[in-house]
Amino acid sequence: MKKVKSTSDPESSPPRDEHGEHNEDSDLVLTALELTDDISGTLKCILENLKKLDTIKSAVKKIEGSLDKLEERTAKLEELEKTAREDIDNLKTNHTLIEKKQEEDKKALDKKIKGIEGKIAELKVKEGKIDQTSKDLNTKDLYLEAYSRRENIKFNNIPEAPSPRNGLEDTEEVLRSFLEKQLGYLDASSVEIQRVHRLGRKKEGGGARPILARFLRYKDCEKIFTLGSRLRGTNFQMFKDLPQELVTRRREEMDTFKKAKRNNIPVSFYQIATRLTICKRETLASWPGAGHLMEQTSRKPFLRPFFFLLFTTLELKTFLRHF
């Protein structure tokens, strides 16, 4: 506010009348004017401040609106947080239950696996027994087949002699002639032959087909085989009619068989052995020191009688196992 000028100021002193005294009315007017100016300035300041207050109020209202929205969002976030915490707690509870269930299932599964493994072990044992039984049955079947074919003899490279009348061959007569002329078998004409025939179909330029003969008595077969040395140096061959599996087994044993022969160890193929096709060879193969023994017998001939007695005893045990 403007200060009121002092009445003692000569410059601002009111005009004096002609007698030199102040005019009181003029002072009052001047004072009122000055007060009016001061009040007008004050009102202007007040109005300006009021305008600023309106702006502040408007800003405050905006802030209050923002705060209300913020409170709403905060409330929503708190609600979401609460819901999220509840969901997390539920998830933790479910996770605990799942872990417990998994542990129980794992224990049950382990128990089942152990049971299955036990059954598998039992099945393997049974399978082994079945395999062994199958092998034993196969061996017995092979033994019976070999036994039933022991009267059979196969002859190779005997020329075919078709009859000029009908072009057919009398195979039995051809075989008897071979036994008499080539083998020198004295009973060739009287030996009883159950059946005799050529094997396979005749092919042009294919050579003579083998002859398979079945004799009535096994003793006749043995006599014929004792004459087999007379075929050395010829193209003729004579074999026992053995099953193919038995032939394969004997071929597998042939190297050791020949080695034993070279070392003068008595060894031979048993006629119808199927479990181990070479009786004395079986003893040799089943004994861990067989190779060392054969080397010793070749270096120290004086040991041969002892090993001959040993192998003969073991051969008898091997022979009895087949019956």
**For residue 286, what are the contacts with CB-CB under 8 A and spacing of at least 6?**
276
Judge whether 277 lies within some domain: yes
117 or 312: whose pLDDT is higher?
A: 117
Report the alpha-carbon distance of residue 188 to residue 194 in Å, rounded.
14
The closest of 252, 246, 253 to 280, measured between CA atoms, is 253
Judge whether 256 lies within some domain: yes
> Which residue matches tokens 């003793």?
219
The closest of 169, 135, 170, 163 to 274, measured between CA atoms, is 135
Position 300 scores a pLDDT of 52
| Segment (H or E) for 280 | helix 279-286
Judge whether 274 lies within some domain: yes
Mean pLDDT, to the nearest integer, of 222-227?
A: 92
Judge whether 126 lies within some domain: no
Phi, psi for residue 303 in degrees, rounded to 5: -85, -10
Q: Whole domain around residue 278: which residue ranges?
A: 242-323
**DSSP of 125-183, one letter per residue?**
HHHHHHHHHHHHHHHHHHHHHHHHTTTEEEEESPPP-B-TTTS-B-HHHHHHHHHHHTS
**For residue 26, what are the contacts with CB-CB under 8 A and spacing of at least 6?**
14, 15
Report the alpha-carbon distance of residue 17 to residue 264 in Å, rounded.
184
Q: Give pLDDT tens digits for 237-290.
A: 998 888 888 888 878 888 887 887 788 877 666 654 443 333 444 444 444 444
Position 204 scores a pLDDT of 75
Judge whether 319 lies within some domain: yes
Distances (CA, A) of 45 to 2, 54, 60: 13, 14, 22
pTM of the predicted structure, to 2 decimals: 0.48
> How many structural domains is the chain composed of?
1
Mean pLDDT, to the nearest integer, of 186-199?
A: 92
Judge whether 111 lies within some domain: no
Judge whether 318 lies within some domain: yes
Judge whether 21 lies within some domain: no
Report the alpha-carbon distance of residue 207 to residue 171 in Å, rounded.
15
95 or 260: whose pLDDT is higher?
A: 95
Distances (CA, A) of 144 to 80, 140, 171, 239, 272: 89, 6, 28, 19, 9
